[in-house]
């Protein structure tokens, strides 16, 4: 009897634990069985989620109840509504039915639409469709960044450092080689997740619009090895700490690289080069992340970023009208593919355009083969080459209820740079007496990749006076050593890819 009691107790315990877990699901094409990435999942008609690049999504513990209503939509497919209870009966897999119609089957006007006429209308309506009004808003954002530093060559050797013996320099160079080998064998990677409320309003003062934003961070985690560098800024700090071992912060130096000398004076003093009256308070984590968010939204604004020349300057591209589909509002959308027509054009991709107001509902773009956004190549003359050779993304826009303009609901972008430096460098003390000198050779070849996922989960109107009362508070990332879904059990979030789930810090 006692055994039976404990058996039942543990069964009930595990059942309760199972019920407390976040619900996860997958969205697939009912005809092909292929996963559907970036499908929209509206939870209880109030909060938006999106399936990840592998088609998976996760619900918070609170939204895992059987009566939670899910509305799943994806352009070209029939919308589907179901409860979490029904999702469980479907083995956590949602199959969407295609709803694609060819041009011959659907008449949307008196004449067959032309791809270039469509793009001319897109350009003519850009300002109307993507200019925000003066109403304030409260939005909930989920923002994930993935940073990769992948060096193939790191070769640094100090040839001379005043005050250091040959034996001491030998030890320093051995330490540098060990550090370089570790970076190459274990390239630094980091993942940051932020869930926040973002308040913004545009007000008119003295005939000028002033943009105000405030940030309230609800949860923030960073997954990386403690003390590991994954950005150029982090590596610059490490380089400066290295130089501090060999340079006097009370002295002034000039730089010489090969035959090239600089007349600029440098110092490692913290206050050096600060202009009187221009000092600013150091950035805290909150202001840094708010700046990152504002920059990301600005860079993905169809009106402001020249990178979207396939929308802003259609004369640079060839367009092909592939057909029409239903969007997730059960309205028609044109599907256009594009590729470079002139040398200034760089991208290939696809556009989904509303038939009613010519707004871009979604864009998928990637650099054409061999193209680079920026390229500085003085490799043979000065030993320097820097090029932005990765630029691609998927961005989805949604109509605002209050003014019929559009906002960015979801974005997944990748930007990468190739870096090559092969230079001798010398820092020489500025003095008439015996000079301190630090001389070293360095060679580095690396690829730097940055991925960002952004999701506007919900938005509502608010007032400028309400935003003014919001008090911002600084925050700190919680460093974790492996991804733990329990940390997000109280919140909806973008389900991570397997790469992030499998990442573990190895000391």
Residue 364 is predicted with a pLDDT of 96
* pLDDT tops 90 at residue 476: yes
User: pLDDT tens digits for 2-26?
Assistant: 444 443 333 333 333 344 457 889 9
Task: Please check the confidence at residue 108 and state whether its pLDDT lies above 80.
Answer: no
The CA distances from residue 337 to 102, 320, 366, 395, in Å, are: 15, 5, 12, 15
Query: Which strands sit side by side in the sheet containing 47-50, from one edge to the other?
Result: 47-50, 40-43, 69-73, 80-83
Output the CA–CA distances (angstroms, integers) from residue 329 to 71, 250, 354, 398, 461, in the order listed: 12, 66, 10, 10, 21
Closest among 328, 353, 354, 327 to 338, alpha carbons compared: 353
Strands annotated E in 381-484: 384-399, 406-429, 437-462, 478-480
pLDDT at residue 174 in the model: 84
HSE at residue 268, side-chain half, CA atoms within 13 A, is 18
Alpha carbons 295 and 135: distance in angstroms, whole number = 21
Q: Tell me the per-residue pLDDT of 21-32, one tens digit each, with 9 for 90 and over.
A: 578 899 999 999
Highest mean pLDDT among 75-79, 155-159, 254-258: 75-79
Give which of 401, 393, 203 is closest to 302, Cα–Cα: 393
Average pLDDT of span 190-218: 90
pLDDT tens per residue across span 231-261: 555 555 555 566 556 566 677 777 776 655 5
Has residue 211 got a pLDDT over 60? yes
All structural domains of the chain, each given as residue ranges with its CATH number in brackets, are 2-98 (2.60.40.1120), 126-476 (no CATH)
Question: Average pLDDT, stretch 129-143?
Answer: 88
Dihedral angle over CA of 162, 165, 171, 175, nearest 10: 0
Mean pLDDT of all residues in 420-448: 82
The pLDDT value recorded for residue 229 is 52
Cα separation of 448 and 450, whole Å? 7
Which tokens is 80 given? 């589907």
- Residue-averaged pLDDT of the chain: 82
User: pLDDT class for 1, splitting at 50, 70, 90?
Assistant: very low
pLDDT, tens only, 302-322? 888 888 999 999 999 999 999
């Amino acid at each position: 009897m006692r055994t039976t009691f404990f058996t039942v107790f543990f069964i009930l315990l595990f059942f309760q634990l199972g019920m407390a877990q976040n619900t996860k699901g997958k969205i697939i094409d009912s005809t092909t069985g292929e996963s559907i990435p970036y499908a929209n999942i509206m939870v209880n008609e109030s909060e938006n989620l999106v399936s990840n690049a592998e088609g998976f999504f996760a619900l918070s513990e609170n939204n895992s109840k059987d009566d939670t209503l899910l509305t799943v939509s994806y352009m070209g497919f029939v919308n589907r509504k179901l409860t979490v209870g029904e999702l469980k009966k479907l083995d956590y897999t949602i199959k969407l039915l295609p709803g694609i119609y060819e041009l011959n089957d659907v008449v949307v006007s008196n004449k067959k639409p032309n791809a270039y006429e469509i793009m001319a209308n897109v350009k003519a309506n850009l300002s109307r469709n993507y200019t925000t009004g003066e109403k304030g808003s409260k939005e909930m954002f989920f923002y994930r960044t993935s940073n990769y530093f992948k060096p193939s060559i790191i070769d640094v050797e100090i040839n001379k450092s005043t005050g250091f013996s040959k034996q001491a320099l030998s030890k320093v160079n051995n330490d540098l080689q060990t550090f370089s080998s570790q970076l190459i064998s274990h390239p630094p990677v980091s993942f940051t997740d932020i869930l926040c409320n973002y308040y913004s309003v545009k007000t008119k003062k003295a005939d000028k619009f002033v943009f105000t934003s405030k940030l309230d961070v609800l949860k923030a985690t960073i997954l990386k090895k403690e003390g590991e560098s994954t950005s150029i800024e982090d590596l610059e700090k490490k380089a400066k700490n290295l130089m501090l071992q060999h340079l006097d912060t009370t002295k002034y130096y000039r730089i010489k690289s090969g035959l090239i000398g600089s007349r600029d004076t440098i110092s490692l003093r913290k206050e050096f080069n600060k202009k009187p009256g221009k000092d600013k308070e150091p950035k805290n984590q909150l202001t840094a992340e708010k700046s990152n968010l504002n920059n990301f939204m600005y860079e993905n604004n169809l009106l402001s970023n020249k990178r979207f020349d396939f929308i802003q300057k259609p004369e640079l591209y060839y367009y092909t009208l592939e057909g029409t589909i239903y969007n997730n509002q059960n309205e028609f959308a044109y599907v256009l593919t594009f590729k470079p027509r002139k040398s200034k054009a760089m991208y290939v991709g696809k556009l989904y355009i509303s038939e009613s107001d010519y707004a871009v509902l979604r864009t998928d773009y990637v650099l054409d083969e061999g193209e680079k956004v920026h390229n500085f190549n003085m490799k043979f003359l000065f030993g320097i080459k820097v090029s932005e050779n990765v630029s691609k993304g998927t961005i989805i826009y949604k109509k605002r209820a209050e003014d019929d303009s559009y906002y960015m609901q979801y974005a997944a972008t990748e930007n990468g740079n190739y870096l090559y430096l092969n230079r001798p460098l010398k820092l020489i003390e500025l003095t008439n007496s015996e000079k301190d000198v630090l001389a070293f050779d360095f060679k580095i070849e690396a690829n730097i990749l940055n991925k960002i996922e952004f999701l506007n989960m919900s938005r509502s109107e608010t007032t400028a006076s309400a935003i003014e009362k919001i008090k911002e508070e600084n925050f700190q990332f919680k460093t974790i050593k492996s991804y733990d879904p329990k940390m997000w059990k109280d919140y909806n979030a973008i389900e991570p890819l397997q790469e992030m789930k499998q990442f573990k810090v190895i000391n």
